[in-house]
Amino acid sequence: MNTITDTNFKFPKQVDVYKGKVREVYRLEDDIMVMVATDRLSAFDVVMPKGIPYKGQILNQIATKMMNDTADIVPNWLLKTPDANVAIGHACEPFKVEMVIRGYMSGHAAREYKAGKRMLCGVPMPEGLKENDKFPTPIITPATKAEMGDHDEDISREDIIKRGIVSETDYKQLEDYTFALFKRGTEIAAKRGLILVDTKYEFGKTKDGKIVLIDEIHTPDSSRYFYADGYEERQEKGEPQKQLSKEFVRQWLISNNFQGLEGQTLPEMTDEYIASVSERYIELYENITGETFVKADITNIQARIENNVLHCLQTL
């Protein structure tokens, strides 16, 4: 099946392009940015060699919906979504940290806890917890934002401010926005019979100095969800939680002896496995949004995107 894993567009008034792990951002004059969600799949900060059909569309459409559903509490960069894989918005200078917030001890936090650590990013984790238990209150565990091919790294609030990565005033605003978004995300998830376990938010500053939400929000790539039904029972029995996230990809890689560490070989992703990942992402979309997924035309994705973006830019 056709996928989009790399782009080389030349839009009118284009200034430069930034290529992240899964998104490509074209900066134009007049402080406009065109963000293309590709079908690349990243896990353990490593980009997989093959794309996942419809993944970019899924992430872009979930992020668009969630930004619209949170715009009343936190301003965001978004102006228009002219294509299934594209968002257009205000150019921003991104903060070089990802605001990771955790309501439950899962994923990376659980792995650190099992290793005996009781501090994560300078934040204490209580004794006596087991994997997937709820924290008494959500905790923010920031990470430095890595370039493609590099690893995100845990960092404390104190180090972020001390090293001048973010000013104390701005960081306080990022914290407030992060808690507010997580609260709203938790409420949205609950209506879908889901638990928002953890997620990350990214922010930037507009040319006017306004802090806004950028990039994706509440997608299965940036978030972990549990099914609420049966959560307590599974915890009492010590059983794994049913979850909606790309953790299933991480677990598949771990089972094939890969965690992105030096000397490890990336396992082959067969066409059959890729198709199953695509189906799983569609399932995630429908569960998170409560809407039926409508597949975009993938006959010629590059031409479709270019035509839709050019038409939209003429209207801005």
Please give the span between the terminal C-alpha atoms of the chain, in angstroms, as a whole number: 33
Which distant-in-sequence residues (6+ apart) come within 8 Å of 105 by Cβ? 113, 125, 129, 130, 131, 132, 133, 134, 135
Contact 173, 211 (CB under 8 A): yes
Question: What is the Cα–Cα distance from 161 to 150, expressed in whole angstroms?
Answer: 22
- pLDDT of the residue at 21: 85
Alpha-helix runs per DSSP H in 90-219: 107-114, 157-162, 168-191
pLDDT tens digit sequence for 139-185: 999 999 765 555 678 999 999 999 999 999 999 999 999 999 999 99
Q: Which residues of the chain have pLDDT under 70?
A: 146-151
State the pLDDT at residue 251. 87
What pLDDT score does 220 carry? 84
Given this model, what pLDDT does residue 46 score?
Answer: 86
| Nearest alpha carbon to residue 108 among 250, 287, 284, 283 | 250
Per-residue tokens: 9: 């567009």
**Do 88 and 80 meet the contact criterion of CB atoms below 8 Å apart?**
yes
Say what the pLDDT of residue 146 is.
63
The whole-number pLDDT of residue 260 equals 86
pLDDT at 148: 52
